[in-house]
Amino acid sequence: MQLKGKKIAILLDDLFQDLEVYYPYLRFLEAGADVLLVGKTGTGPTYKGKYGLSITAHTTADKVKDQSFDAIFIPGGWAPDKMRLDRNILEIVRKAMAENRLVMVICHGGWVLASAGVLKGRHMTCYEAIIDDVKNAGATFEDAELVEDGNLLSSRKPMDLPALLRRAVERLSDA
Amino acid sequence: MQLKGKKIAILLDDLFQDLEVYYPYLRFLEAGADVLLVGKTGTGPTYKGKYGLSITAHTTADKVKDQSFDAIFIPGGWAPDKMRLDRNILEIVRKAMAENRLVMVICHGGWVLASAGVLKGRHMTCYEAIIDDVKNAGATFEDAELVEDGNLLSSRKPMDLPALLRRAVERLSDA
């Protein structure tokens, strides 16, 4: 129960990449963290992944945007294309970045960071299709299973999840 | 890298419950273990989960049945209905039980233990639909997220995975 007492939000919308929500969700529960599944404002509570796994959110972004989390996780799939339109999701992300909380992002999740306007001068990785978007938002790109830039941990794809979560659990245990 | 040097086999066939293969697979990789995905004799190398996630096996049961693993994992979904027909899968299971290796089973995976003939006098849990089958095979049943009976760790369903893997990683770290 390495992460007992830690509060972690996983951001959600339909067409999330199934493993990129379920792996961190189950993993943080395994470590004893208090994990909140946060859906887009005005939607939910049940979302479907790209492969059809469904998950029920605990709350929506408008209800928790003023809370502080020890960490937030932004999954990939097509969900980020929807989440980036929700100003409350973007506020949660901006607040976490401003407070230097651990922000984990994988795959297409980088789109949400681009729309939150928090990528200038940051170093990260992402799914190859959105490399141009994160660069145009001001980040430098590196092709690696895990890129660590201060509070920002990023990965490219589902098979990077072991590296991402190994480091995330370490970082949150030390915090 | 808590499990560096540990050799773990995950047994596979089509229609596996997606999370019940991917969660332990990614989790054991995260812990640095050497994870072998073992498909049914004469099939593979690529298998599809119930929800359509696919996974490529490293080998098949006939090729590794004489090897010893530190642990084996039997997932659920409909895959166990197929795996129990493969005598090499059953040999892998019998060998692991005879050698007192850690055997993890979840959901419908209990069918494979029933067909391997290793349940007499054992205590376990499983998905509710197969309670009669594991009892008729000689086991006693308990409704709990994790049942630990010596080398046998069992769980009921995907949301039990955090409890199962937390204990499995502990057990394998101590071994």
Find where tokens 């992002």 sit.
A105
Q: Is B161 within 8 Å of A52 when comparing Cβ atoms? A: no
B29: in domain: yes
**Site from A8, A50, A53, A58 to mutate, B interface, most B CB atoms within 10 angstroms:** A53
Identify the pLDDT of residue B44: 79
B120: in domain: yes
B78: in domain: yes
- Residues of chain B short of pLDDT 50, as ranges, are none
B19: in domain: yes
pLDDT in tens, A30-62: 999 999 999 998 887 999 999 999 999 999 999
Number of domains in chain A: 1
Answer whether residue A175 shows pLDDT above 80: no
Q: What share of chain A is helix, strand, coil (3-state, %, to 5)?
A: 40, 25, 35
Give the CATH number, domain containing residue A20: 3.40.50.880
Kindly identify which residue of chain A lies nearest to residue B166, measuring between CA atoms: A30
Q: Tell me the pTM.
A: 0.95
Cβ–Cβ < 8 Å for B18, B90 = no
Q: Domain range holding B158?
A: 7-170
Give B10 to chain A, closest Cα distance, Å: 16
Identify the pLDDT of residue A89: 98
Cβ–Cβ < 8 Å for A93, A101 = no
Identify the pLDDT of residue B1: 83
CA A15, CA A23: separation in Å to the nearest integer? Answer: 15
Query: Would residue B108 show up in a list of annotated catalytic residues for this protein?
Result: yes
Give A173 to chain B, closest Cα distance, Å: 15
Out of B58, B107, B123, B126, the active site residue is B107
B34: in domain: yes
Residue type, B66: D
Q: What is the ipTM of this complex?
A: 0.93
Q: Is A162 within 8 Å of B26 when comparing Cβ atoms? A: yes
